[in-house]
């Protein structure tokens, strides 16, 4: 259970846990034309593109983790439809060949001196910086966590250390409340907290336990889903399947020894409600990477402050950002990263030529809302919350073909396309459809 205790400081991509500074005398200075911070989906996909643009010897990636995970599949791992082993590959196997892998954590970013310091004291200088550090999970902001994960009946699909506990809790469910939560913070993959609810409902029906289950979704949001077209369809599913949705309810404490979850009513601060559970799925509070938050690169909230059109930093023109660490006003998903890669690639190519960026990111993001073991509602939308759909069908309807795309096709495209810088771009599904019609 020691691994569960470490969730208190479970780091995002390439981030240092410690805030202590070590001497740069520990090792010689290094310099790269393009330094990429973070080896997640954004960092690896862009380093592959930068290798082709600048040459492998001019690119380095700072990433401490030995393993790289395709996190979107954890929804299905938590429901027993996929294995956790299938979600991971070694970082060495996805790192573009010839690109320097700096196996360290980022300690400090100094954009005024064009340097980055790692936790082993190495100082790395750069000509251009690409920040892809992701966001940080904060289980510790819920009283009773992360130590509560040492008890059964509680899991979380947001960490490789707890996702299998979700499946065990679901398998061992007998009768009572199955509770699913959404925190009062920005989150990555905002549909995931309710996807596991729909899958749990399907599993309990399949195993004959549904009549003894009361399924509860407590969300801090004032809506079920942010885009009305898809929210309307989800409300229909909620009613059809007798799922209880409570809006503006925020999880503030878990009493794992008593199997109790405590929620605060956000519309009536201070008013709390205790719910006993037989199964609890926790979506943790999330926040900006602390290294970014403590640097001049951050906005007032701590996120990487980039231009929403071209992903170039607003104050440091040789700095760029991608993915969950940025303040781009769109949902934080892998599909958003895929859409951002081609825009950012174009932006950087123009900057290298001393030209102005000429392509704009429209905020495209996608959330395949898994509603059962064989159906998905494919939500796609832009900065304005307007549907930005790929297929000539009503995507607000549950479809089997979309489930197979989510469960089978997308992982393949992720490992063999996106991470190699070969797939993505504005509306990545549109590109996929175009390729399929050729």
Classify 144 in phi/psi space as left (phi over 0), alpha (psi -120 to 50) or beta.
left
- Please say if 325 is a catalytic residue: no
Per the CB < 8 A criterion, the answer to whether 99 and 289 are in contact is no
Name every residue whose Cβ is closer than 8 Å to that of residue 211 and which is 6 or more positions away in sequence. Answer: none
- State the Cα–Cα distance between residues 282 and 274, nearest whole angstrom: 15
Per the CB < 8 A criterion, the answer to whether 214 and 176 are in contact is yes
- State the Cα–Cα distance between residues 373 and 76, nearest whole angstrom: 9
b/e burial code for range 343-375 (CB count within 10 A of at least 16 → b): bbbbbbebbeeeeebebebbbbbbbbbbbbbbb
Beta strands (DSSP E) in 308-411 are: 319-321, 365-370, 376-381
Q: Pick from 19, 36, 24: which is nearest to 120 by CA?
A: 24
Q: How many CB atoms lie within 10 A of CB 397?
A: 11
From 95, 297, 367, 410, the catalytic residue? 367
Per the CB < 8 A criterion, the answer to whether 11 and 136 are in contact is yes
From 15, 46, 133, 189, the catalytic residue? 189
Phi, psi (deg, nearest 5) at residue 356: -80, 140
- State the Cα–Cα distance between residues 212 and 178, nearest whole angstrom: 10
CA distances in angstroms from 106 to 39, 304, 365, listed in the order given: 12, 15, 28
Question: What is the DSSP track for 152-178?
Answer: SSEE-TTSTTTHHHHHHHHHT--SEEE
Token code pair at residue 359: 């392509």
Per the CB < 8 A criterion, the answer to whether 124 and 110 are in contact is no
- Please say if 367 is a catalytic residue: yes
Residues annotated catalytic, as ranges: 189, 367
């Amino acid at each position: 259970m020691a691994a569960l205790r470490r969730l208190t400081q479970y780091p995002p991509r390439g981030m240092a846990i410690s805030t202590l500074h070590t001497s740069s005398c520990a090792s010689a200075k290094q310099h790269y034309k393009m330094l990429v911070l973070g080896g997640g989906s954004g960092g690896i996909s862009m380093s592959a593109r930068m290798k082709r643009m600048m040459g492998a010897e001019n690119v380095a990636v700072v990433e401490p983790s030995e393993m790289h995970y395709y996190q979107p599949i954890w929804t299905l791992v938590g429901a027993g439809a996929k294995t956790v082993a299938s979600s991971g590959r070694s970082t060495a196997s996805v790192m573009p060949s010839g690109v320097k892998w700096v196996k360290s954590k980022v300690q400090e970013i100094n954009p005024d001196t064009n340097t980055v310091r790692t936790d082993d004291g190495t100082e790395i200088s750069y000509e251009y910086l690409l920040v892809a550090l992701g966001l940080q999970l904060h289980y510790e902001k819920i009283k009773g966590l992360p130590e509560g994960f040492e008890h059964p009946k509680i899991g979380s699909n947001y960490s490789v250390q707890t996702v299998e506990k979700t499946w065990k809790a679901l398998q061992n469910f007998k009768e009572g409340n199955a509770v699913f939560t959404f925190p009062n913070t920005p989150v990555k993959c905002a549909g995931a907290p309710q996807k596991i609810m729909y899958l749990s409902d399907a599993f309990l029906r399949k195993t004959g336990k549904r009549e003894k289950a009361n399924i509860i979704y407590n969300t801090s949001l004032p809506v079920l889903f942010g885009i009305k077209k898809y929210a309307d369809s989800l409300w229909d599913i909620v009613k059809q399947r007798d799922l209880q949705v409570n809006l503006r309810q925020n999880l503030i404490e878990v009493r794992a020894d008593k199997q109790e979850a405590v929620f605060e009513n956000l519309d009536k601060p201070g008013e709390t409600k205790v719910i006993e559970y037989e199964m609890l799925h926790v979506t943790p509070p999330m926040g900006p990477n602390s290294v970014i938050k403590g640097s001049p690169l951050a906005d007032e909230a701590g996120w990487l402050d980039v231009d929403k059109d071209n992903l170039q930093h607003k104050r440091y023109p040789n700095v760029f950002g991608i993915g969950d660490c940025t303040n781009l006003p769109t949902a934080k998903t892998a599909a958003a990263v895929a859409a951002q890669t081609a825009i950012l690639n174009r932006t950087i190519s123009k900057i290298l030529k001393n030209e102005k960026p000429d392509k704009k990111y429209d905020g495209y993001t996608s959330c395949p809302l898994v509603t059962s073991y064989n159906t998905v509602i494919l939500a796609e939308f832009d900065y304005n919350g307007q549907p930005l759909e790929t297929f000539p069908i009503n995507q607000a309807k549950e479809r089997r073909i979309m489930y197979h795309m989510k469960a089978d096709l997308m992982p393949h495209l992720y490992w063999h396309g996106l991470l190699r810088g070969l797939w993505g771009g504005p509306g990545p599904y549109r590109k996929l459809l175009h390729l399929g019609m050729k």
